[in-house]
Chains A and B, each alone.
Chain A
Amino acid sequence: MREITIQNLHFSIDGREILQGITTRLPGDRFLALLGPNGCGKSTLLKHLYRVHPIQEGSIEMDSTPLAEIPLRTAAQKIAVMGQFHTVDFDFSVLEIALMGRTPYKENFEEDTEEDTSLALEALEMTGMAEARNRSFNSLSGGEQQRVMLARCLVQQPELLILDEPTNHLDIKYQLELLALVRALKIGVIAALHDINLAAMYADRLLVLRDGRLEREGTPREVITEEMLLTTYGVHAHVGMDSTGLPLVDYRTESAL
């Protein structure tokens, strides 16, 4: 996938406008990070891309084909999503969950092959969950469950990976590992992130949303400024530079103390 084009996208629930006219082009082969305060519409925008929200107004095209004309199954072969999932008490094993990533490639009655299994084990190996392959998914911690879900995404062999606040339940160690792993895949990534410093470290481009509008777009250096932190997030912070020249947010300003 080369490009996703979003034109004048609006979305409202119960009369409240969540997205108020988003227009942008998202390259399909970069690491894009979506930033913005809670309730700014990050998740809503991503849910439009992965087809959970129907388009009310505006349009989304993938490589010039309107999203609604792409069958869900075809889309699932190209885009994998690691979302905020709820936990049901289902007694699936870790390997079974990972194998569900093969769903968009399977016909009715078609069984999982040995290739599928080795693909799943490889993915679990990459996310550090291979040893837990026979454990019950339920018995894992939140962070472990998320790593299994990432493996399931990898088994889908996507061209684009959408991460909807993927680092929610993760310790900083796994946050770093997850983002580094995803970056090393060399596929397109669109990730909604909370941590601005992490976004600066891993993303090629940043998009900043506020109140359902796209406020800024650009490289980390262009986007992460003291002025942006004040207008978008309402915090006074100092933006310095890390050892590699990337912006680094320091929240320890005088007004915060």
Chain B
Amino acid sequence: MQIRTLLFSSPLLSILLALSILLSISLGSISIPAGDVLSVLFSQIADTPSSVDPAMTDIIWSLRVPRAVLAAATGAGLALAGVVMQASVQNPLAEPFLLGIASGASVGATLAILLGTGSLPFGVSGFAFLGAVLATAAVLLLAGSGRRISTVKLVLAGAAISALCIALTNFIVYIAADAEGMQSAAFWTMGSLADAKWRSLALPIAIVTALIVYFLSQTRTLDVLLLGEELAVTLGIDAARKRRIFMVLLALLTGILVATCGIIGFVGLVVPHAVRAFTGASHRRLLPAAIFSGAIFLTLSDLLARTLLPAGDLPIGIITALIGAPLFLKLLFGGKGFGGNGK
């Protein structure tokens, strides 16, 4: 018990995250010694000259660092989305990808690019947010909100909305084959961090950080929501209102992440589930541990995606799905539960 608590404490996880990011920056088609990486990071941040070759500096600072940072922020955001969504609908299978919310966001994002509103500030992200909100509303209506939502209805509603939205996304990508800035179908359906640049990082990082702070202030509410809406009301929490606020914020988060790096599935399922086995259901411990673990998980997944094949980048969604799908099956057909030990 003590070792478990220590293993999933924030100080240890933040060290692991720093190491993962360092590893991810130094490994790749060209391997760079960790010492050079640290030297470049230091010189860039402190604005001092560095002894490292300028071409190498460019690879590190303009390509690998933003990519690793985006991976960490996206992983943290996806894990956060999974934890909050699971508490909000009281179902351990809830996750933006499985519920079709990420696919809804991709329809919005591709539509924005097709219509040319992508050049407006927040154009793509704004449309992705709208798409995510609509998909969320559709799934919750289909699954029957209000009462505790049954797993079967939730998964089926998510699958239906997801299939519809992915078809729409592919259709838009197909007819807009050469629209400026339109990513490939693979980008929207399987995700990629390959286009990470410093200037595209600000918005996702700002949103992820703000929502992490907000939800860390809501850990009691999340705990109480797990006990059911009625009990939450008797403890002074307006459960229906909180749930609405949470779902809108999650749609915003999902929209931004999808607009930035496409759909990356299963992270919101795998990470909270694995972390709960160590921390239990209490969000005061679960939430920070899941956020760190999500960041570590996606940083390492991206490293795998970049290095697994000599030919080049795999879509990162393939890696996360290969890890996530078996767990999804286990949760669906095995004992479902919010605990590590289930029932």
Cross-interface CB contact of A79 among B234, B238, B280, cutoff 8 Å: B234
Within 8 A of B (CB), among A33-85: 47, 50-52, 71-77, 79-81, 83, 85
Instruction: Give chain B nearest CB distance to A17 CB in angstroms.
Output: 21
Interface residue? B339 (CB, 8 A): yes
Interface-lining segment among A100-108, A175-183, A241-249: A100-108
A72-B238, A100-B223 known; A89+B280 contact, CB < 8 A: no
Specify the chain A residue showing the minimal Cβ separation from B230: A52
Which residues does chain B contribute within 8 Å of A101, judged by CB atoms? Answer: 235
Specify the chain A residue showing the minimal Cβ separation from B231: A85
Specify the chain A residue showing the minimal Cβ separation from B235: A103
A83-B234, A100-B235 known; A91+B339 contact, CB < 8 A: yes
Interface residue? B18 (CB, 8 A): no
Separation of A51 and B223 alpha carbons in the complex (Å): 20
Interface residue? B243 (CB, 8 A): no
Specify the chain A residue showing the minimal Cβ separation from B226: A90
Q: Are B282 and A50 in contact, with the CB atoms below 8 A?
A: no
Q: How many A-B residue pairs have CB under 8 A?
A: 100
Interface residue? B340 (CB, 8 A): yes
Q: Are A85 and B238 in contact, with the CB atoms below 8 A?
A: no
Instruction: Give chain A nearest CB distance to B154 CB in angstroms.
Output: 14
Q: Are B282 and A92 in contact, with the CB atoms below 8 A?
A: yes
Cross-interface CB contact of B216 among A71, A85, A86, A109, cutoff 8 Å: A109
Separation of A80 and B231 alpha carbons in the complex (Å): 10
Q: Are A91 and B231 in contact, with the CB atoms below 8 A?
A: no
Within 8 A of B (CB), among A145-174: 156
Instruction: Give chain B nearest CB distance to A133 CB in angstroms.
Output: 14
A89-B336, A89-B338, A92-B280 known; A106+B220 contact, CB < 8 A: yes
Residues of chain B having any CB pair with chain A under 8 Å: 90, 92, 148, 216-218, 220, 223-224, 226-231, 233-238, 276, 280-282, 284, 335-343
Which 7 pairs across A and B sit closest by C-beta, in order of nearness?
Answer: A91-B339, A76-B236, A89-B337, A73-B236, A104-B236, A108-B217, A81-B234
